[in-house]
């Protein structure tokens, strides 16, 4: 049952009624240009509908009016969001002359932030009603149910239009809002919600609002005939359904601990501050860990800003200034060391920065970057003062943090010396590109491709089979350095990594320049075995940790060479997996006979493992060659299957979830064994083992 003690008025005792809702414009544009309101009509846009409704309930919790939100995935692609807040007002709105609930659900920019008095939201990510109206417009079915003032009210809609008036359907001692919606197939091609995506987003939100309970119920396999209309929360039905609950007393402190669960902390105490300055609420939690990369996770009004913004700028300024001041005051830095740069003090840092503003500005529609100028000064002031006090009060933590920064400073200087040495050496010898690189003739990065291949054998075939005008080949000898825990100075000592960096042309570290990249397609082409997969992972780790803009630009691909060459008489086909092989063999699959290599003598065109299928007519043989590596292909085969732009198959590497990608690299490539062991055990059933 919903909590009956949550208040219905704000801190000043003012009520939240119809007049708290104001109207700016109509709803019709949403269906015409949905991308303007939810970013995309793809899978991200589909999930954005859930975020919009959830944000309305979360805003109630941020205002102190709710403490439990439940999100349920229902049969038939429906989603139900419940909160125990005040309930959307249902009385008649003075301007629209209809119920405030109907106004909220059917009018764009009608929400609790626009009221102009203190009864709406002081701080809001989504605006109560704005998100609801957008979701309503893009749904084939929506139902809003409100428990408020002793009554139970409901209204239904389709594609943003009401199906009837707001009706009182009963009495209730509860309070809150229930929104159920079914996305419109005319708008969204894919209506399948992803449970992991929803759990990830809502876990994040639960960390950001202290003591908010968030429940996620997966009821998609529930009997569609089950009547849940009278149940406020799904647990009241007593059904055994997959359920996940998030509740964090520690808020951002718990969030930092979650991020660092696979790392060894440099200091025990997690720094935390929460304070308001000039109407800007600032909340920061941080901890340094034994890692070379940093994790800066910024939010504004609980909206994640992947591109940072003014709050991150203010934080970095204050962090660098504070550590430099403390280090010089306590003689930790020598005169010859100079001062810390931002790069030095960020190494190994995990920080969550959350700011809350009454009037918020983002750069762009996607809210990826905060633009509100006042957030920079407020963050710098609040964090700078509190972190200075923290360093004074926790000298052991301060010593550990500064010791790490000094190591980073020395590594930066060593890396610069190594880079300068490499550049000088290249200039003196008149050769800047690695000798192993067979470059292409074109100087246009837009049409040029770099194939990074495994070993000299594959490199030889690729060099002979390529299109010399646009395709360059770089063979790698063995496995490259695992850069997950390596500083830049050590990375620059690896010949294989240096060759790759010089071939790309972007440089690395503080002199990285994406505009100087020499190829707009960098294709990783390794063998389809464990070693090949490991090399691919090592390269992706290098790219993710030190060349993230190259990944974000969409320049990285993984080649998909075939596993089989199938010859029927004079006809030759290639299969990329067993299903394709079986489809090509077709009705003759039952006649397959595995033959050892000793039976292949005399056939110079077939190498490696060969299976022969003899039909009743011996004149029509089916030869199936299984490739074990790119080196087994002759130049013509490699061109035909893997390099020819007209026929090849490439997988483009994209980062859908940076936080999840960061976690996976930490687990798989880091120094901590237990997390990797747990990951392998948990995912062993998914592994495709080639024996």
Catalytic choice (529, 552, 594, 603): 529
Closest CA to 486 of 462, 459, 509: 509
- Rounded CA separation 328/346 (Å): 18
- Rounded CA separation 418/262 (Å): 31
Beta bridge partners of 610: 595, 625
- Rounded CA separation 140/77 (Å): 11
The burial of 607, by beta-carbon neighbours within 10 Å (0-12 exposed, 13-18 middle, 19 or more buried), is given as middle
- Rounded CA separation 308/68 (Å): 29
Residue 531 annotated in active site:
yes
Catalytic choice (527, 632, 637, 640): 527
Closest CA to 339 of 351, 322, 355: 322
- Rounded CA separation 431/425 (Å): 8
To the nearest 10°, report the CA torsion of 623, 627, 633, 639.
90
Instruction: Say if residues 183 and 49 touch (Cβ distance below 8 Å).
Output: yes
Please tell me what DSSP assigns to residue 640. I
To the nearest 10°, report the CA torsion of 223, 226, 228, 231.
-100
- Rounded CA separation 73/50 (Å): 10
Structure tokens at 595: 């033959």
Catalytic choice (307, 343, 385, 531): 531
Look at residue 608 and give its three-state secondary structure.
coil
Cβ atoms within 10 Å, residue 673 = 8
Look at residue 66 and give its three-state secondary structure.
coil
Instruction: Say if residues 25 and 108 touch (Cβ distance below 8 Å).
Output: yes
CB-facing half-sphere around the CA of 15: CA atoms within 13 A: 7
The phi, psi pair for 379, rounded to 5°, reads -65, -45
Residue 529 annotated in active site:
yes
Instruction: Say if residues 293 and 362 touch (Cβ distance below 8 Å).
Output: no
The rounded radius of gyration (Å) of the Cα atoms in the chain is 30
Look at residue 70 and give its three-state secondary structure.
strand
Residue 454 annotated in active site:
yes
The phi, psi pair for 126, rounded to 5°, reads -95, 155
> Cα dist. 421→427, 497, 511, 570, 688 in Å?
10, 15, 14, 56, 44
- Positions of E strands within 219-359: 243-246, 271-277, 280-288, 295-300, 303-304, 349-357
- Rounded CA separation 416/103 (Å): 61
Instruction: Say if residues 383 and 448 touch (Cβ distance below 8 Å).
Output: no
- Rounded CA separation 543/59 (Å): 38
Structure tokens at 677: 């062991």
- Rounded CA separation 251/505 (Å): 43
Catalytic choice (454, 489, 632, 640): 454
Q: Which residues are catalytic?
A: 454, 527, 529, 531
């Amino acid at each position: 049952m919903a909590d009956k003690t949550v208040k219905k008025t704000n801190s000043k005792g003012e009520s939240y009624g119809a007049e708290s809702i104001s109207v700016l414009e109509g709803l019709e544009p949403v269906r015409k240009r949905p991308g303007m309101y939810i970013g995309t009509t793809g899978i991200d846009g589909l999930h954005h509908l859930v975020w919009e409704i959830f944000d309305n309930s979360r805003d109630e919790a941020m205002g102190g009016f709710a403490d439990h939100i439940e999100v349920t995935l229902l049969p038939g692609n429906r989603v139900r969001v419940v909160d125990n807040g005040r309930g959307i007002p249902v009385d008649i709105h003075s301007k629209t002359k209809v119920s405030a609930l109907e106004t909220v659900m059917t009018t764009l920019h009608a929400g609790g932030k626009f009221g102009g008095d203190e009864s709406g939201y002081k701080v809001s990510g989504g605006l109560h009603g704005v998100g609801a109206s957008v979701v309503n417009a893009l749904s084939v079915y929506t139902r809003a149910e409100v428990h408020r003032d002793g009554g139970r009210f409901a209204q239904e809609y389709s594609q943003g239009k009401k199906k009837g008036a707001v009706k009182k359907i009963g009495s209730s001692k509860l309070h809150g809002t229930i929104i159920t919606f079914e996305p419109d197939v005319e708008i969204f091609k894919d209506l399948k919600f992803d449970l992991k995506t929803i759990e990830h987003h809502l876990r994040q939100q639960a960390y950001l609002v202290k003591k908010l309970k968030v429940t996620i119920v997966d009821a998609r396999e529930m009997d569609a005939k089950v009547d849940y209309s009278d149940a406020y929360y799904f647990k009241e039905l007593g059904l055994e359904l997959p359920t996940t609950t998030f509740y964090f007393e520690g808020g951002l402190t718990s969030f930092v601990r979650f991020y660092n669960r696979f790392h060894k902390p440099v200091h025990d105490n997690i720094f935390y501050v929460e304070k308001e300055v000039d109407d800007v609420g600032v909340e920061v939690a941080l901890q340094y860990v034994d890692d070379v990369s940093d994790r800066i996770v910024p939010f504004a009004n609980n909206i994640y800003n992947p591109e940072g913004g003014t709050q991150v700028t203010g934080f970095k300024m204050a962090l660098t200034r504070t550590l430099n001041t403390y280090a010089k005051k306590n003689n930790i830095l020598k005169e010859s060391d100079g001062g810390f740069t931002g790069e030095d003090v960020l190494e190994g840092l995990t920080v969550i920065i959350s700011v809350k503003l009454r009037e918020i500005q983002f750069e762009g529609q996607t809210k990826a970057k905060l633009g509100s100028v006042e957030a920079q000064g407020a963050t710098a002031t609040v964090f700078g003062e509190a972190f200075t006090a923290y360093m004074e009060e926790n000298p052991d933590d301060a010593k550990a943090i500064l010791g790490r920064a000094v190591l980073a400073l020395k590594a930066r200087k060593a890396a610069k010396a190594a880079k300068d040495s490499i550049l000088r050496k290249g200039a003196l010898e008149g050769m800047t590109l690695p000798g192993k690189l067979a470059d292409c003739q074109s100087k246009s990065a837009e049409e040029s491709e770099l194939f990074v291949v495994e070993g000299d054998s594959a490199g030889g075939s690729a060099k002979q089979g390529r299109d010399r005008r646009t395709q360059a080949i770089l063979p790698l000898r063995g496995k490259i350095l695992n850069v997950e825990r390596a500083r830049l100075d050590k990375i620059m000592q690896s010949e294989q990594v240096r060759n790759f960096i010089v071939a790309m042309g972007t440089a690395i570290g503080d002199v990285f320049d994406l505009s100087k990249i020499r190829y707009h397609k960098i294709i990783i082409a390794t063998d389809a075995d464990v070693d090949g997969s490991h090399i691919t992972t090592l390269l992706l780790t290098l790219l993710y940790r030190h060349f993230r803009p190259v990944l974000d630009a969409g320049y990285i691909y993984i080649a998909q060479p075939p596993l089989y060459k199938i010859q029927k008489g004079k006809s030759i086909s290639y299969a990329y997996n067993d299903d394709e092989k079986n489809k090509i063999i077709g009705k003759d699959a039952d006649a397959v006979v595995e033959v050892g290599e000793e039976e292949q003598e005399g056939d110079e065109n077939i190498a490696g493992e060969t299976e022969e299928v003899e039909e009743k007519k011996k004149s029509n043989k089916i030869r199936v060659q299984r490739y074990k590596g790119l080196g087994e292909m002759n130049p013509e085969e490699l061109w035909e299957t893997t390099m020819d732009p007209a026929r090849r198959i490439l997988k483009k590497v994209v980062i859908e979830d940076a936080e999840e990608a960061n976690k996976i690299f930490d687990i798989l490539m880091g120094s901590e064994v237990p997390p990797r062991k747990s990951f392998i055990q948990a995912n062993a059933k998914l592994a495709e083992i080639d024996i």
